[in-house]
Amino acid sequence: MDQKNSSLSPPASSYRARFHDPVVEGNASGELRLSCTLENKGSARWSANQNLLVQDDSQRDKPSIGPISLGYHIFDARTGALIMEADHTALINDLSPGEKFVVQGSIQLPLEEGDYRILVSPVHENVAWFSDHGSEFLLVDVSSTPSGIQVRRVFCTNRENRGNRRAWQLISRFFVYPLQTIHRYHSLIFSLVRRDISGRYRGSVGGILWTVMHPLLLMLAYYFVFAIVLRVRFATETSSGAFIFYFLCGMLPWLAFSEAIGRAPGVVSAHSGFVKRVVFPLEILPINLTLAGLVTQGIGLVIFLAALVVWGGGIPSTAALFPMIFLPQVMLTAGLCWFLAAVGVFFKDTNQIMGFVLTLWFFATPICYPASALPANWIWLFELNPMYTMVEAYRSIFLETSLPSARTLAALWAISLASFWAGYAIFYKTRRTFADLL
């Protein structure tokens, strides 16, 4: 551009275009052929070979810009990184505002196989891309394979709409991806859970019976210490028989939670073969831990309900609200498992630290003692513990035939939802670095 005219800057209204009837086809040599009708929607005349912004002395109210061509930016569809700028297609005719012209061009894609996104926009050569000034542009999504180019999608948009679309996509991904992952790989998840459960006690005399015996013996050990030796009692109940119901009820959510959380920091390292050698959905590994822990809880729940029927006067009607408490429990556990699984890859000591944390967490939760035993001035602090709320909610519906308060349920759901989606987001963002660290 001439130095004396370099200060001339076309108004943004000059950079307006519209695409009509775009057709994009690929061939086996990696070339895309584009055909479309391009309309000048701006305030300036487009020149095919003019090198600067000028004013026609006879028509000073009709500015002209040029040279104008059709430009192509090729991006990696997965990362959004710019790969290259392809050769431009020059206009062969001038185009006045409101006029249309059929443009045909070709784009040579990189030789590497993969998914690409091509941005097609008019270009004021050496000055500006129309797409950067609010004009409509064309996006073409393609896949490059050994057999040729597959055009997956062609659509028109602009920066504002694209920004809104990307924001909506990020929001929808944040909420949809965790559920979509679980649904897509549900068969593989259940297969891994079965293998996990059966593999724990393979070769032992008891075999699969240990799945029942382990939680039963664990609960009996705690019962002996707290009910028989320490004589802990709940509310106005004075018998050790009443204690067992309160204790078992409090242990139900803790069994599944502690088992999954305790194993989460080492789950990626334990499956390093999947990380390094195979294309594998790593996001399902923490879900595997969550569901395996629920198997243990399920066995404990059967034992507890059987005890209620035989010695506790039956199962109360408020037990029908169990799903309202169970679902946030699962989401809370899964979210923390995703988070700890990611942290465990970066900090190997997390696995050892969690043993101490879970012990402290257990005694900070009123499982083996009543909540009334806590210092009144510190209740607010203990209520920040989601497992405190969970245990109290379990006891409300199973033993006290009362409903948890709306405030309690709202807090439980809010914490669980935040844990679920934030945990997944952290795991999803960091998983690409796992192979380099293991």
The mean per-residue pLDDT over the stretch 62-91 comes to 87
Is the pLDDT higher at 14 or at 9?
14
> Which value, to the nearest 10 degrees, does the dihedral of the CA atoms of residues 210, 215, 216, 220 take?
130
CA atoms of 144 and 30, how far apart (whole Å): 7
Confidence at 257, pLDDT banded by 50, 70, 90? very high
The mean per-residue pLDDT over the stretch 423-438 comes to 87
Give pLDDT, residue 6: 40
Q: Is the pLDDT of residue 290 over 70?
A: yes
* Amino acid found at 400: E
Give pLDDT, residue 24: 92
Of 62-66, 93-97, 165-169, 232-236, the range with the lowest mean pLDDT is 232-236
Is the pLDDT higher at 217 or at 406?
406
Domain spanning 14-157 has what CATH number? 2.60.40.10
Average pLDDT value over all residues in the chain: 84
Give the pairing type, strands 128-129 and 137-145. unpaired
Is the pLDDT higher at 69 or at 201?
69
* Residue of 293, 336, 327 lying closest to 424 (CA atoms): 336
Q: What backbone torsions phi and psi does residue 373 show, to the nearest 5 degrees? A: -80, -10
Q: Is the pLDDT of residue 419 over 90?
A: yes
CA atoms of 159 and 39, how far apart (whole Å): 18
Q: Are the CB atoms for 157 and 165 separated by under 8 Å?
A: yes
Q: Is the pLDDT of residue 277 over 80?
A: no
Is the pLDDT higher at 331 or at 251?
331
C-alpha distances out from residue 264 to 78, 335, 417, 436, Å: 28, 11, 19, 19
Q: Is the pLDDT of residue 349 over 80?
A: yes
Instruction: Specify the pTM.
Output: 0.65
Q: Is the pLDDT of residue 79 over 50?
A: yes
Give pLDDT, residue 286: 95
Q: How would you class 116 by CB atoms within 10 Å of its CB: exposed for 0-12, middle for 13-18, buried for 19 or more?
A: buried
Q: Is the pLDDT of residue 226 over 80?
A: no
What pLDDT digit, counting tens, does each position of 356-414 carry? 999 999 989 988 888 888 888 888 888 889 999 999 999 999 988 888 888 888 999 99
Give pLDDT, residue 245: 83
The mean per-residue pLDDT over the stretch 315-333 comes to 94
Give pLDDT, residue 53: 46
Q: Where are the domains of the chain?
A: 14-157, 180-437
The mean per-residue pLDDT over the stretch 278-290 comes to 88
The mean per-residue pLDDT over the stretch 218-247 comes to 68
Percent of the chain's residues with pLDDT above 90: 40
The mean per-residue pLDDT over the stretch 344-363 comes to 92
CA atoms of 141 and 118, how far apart (whole Å): 6
The mean per-residue pLDDT over the stretch 331-350 comes to 95
- Any residues with CB less than 8 A from the CB of 326 and at least 6 apart, and which? none
Q: Is the pLDDT of residue 8 over 60?
A: no
Give pLDDT, residue 3: 38
What pLDDT digit, counting tens, does each position of 157-201 carry? 887 776 666 667 667 667 788 888 899 899 999 999 988 887 776
Of 262-271, 336-345, 372-381, the range with the lowest mean pLDDT is 372-381
Range 393-417 burial, b when 16+ CB lie within 10 A, else e? bbbbbbbeeeebeeebbebbbebbb
Give pLDDT, residue 4: 38
Percent of the chain's residues with pLDDT above 70: 86
Q: Is the pLDDT of residue 58 over 70?
A: no
Q: How would you class 319 by CB atoms within 10 Å of its CB: exposed for 0-12, middle for 13-18, buried for 19 or more?
A: middle
Give pLDDT, residue 62: 64
Q: Is the pLDDT of residue 2 over 80?
A: no
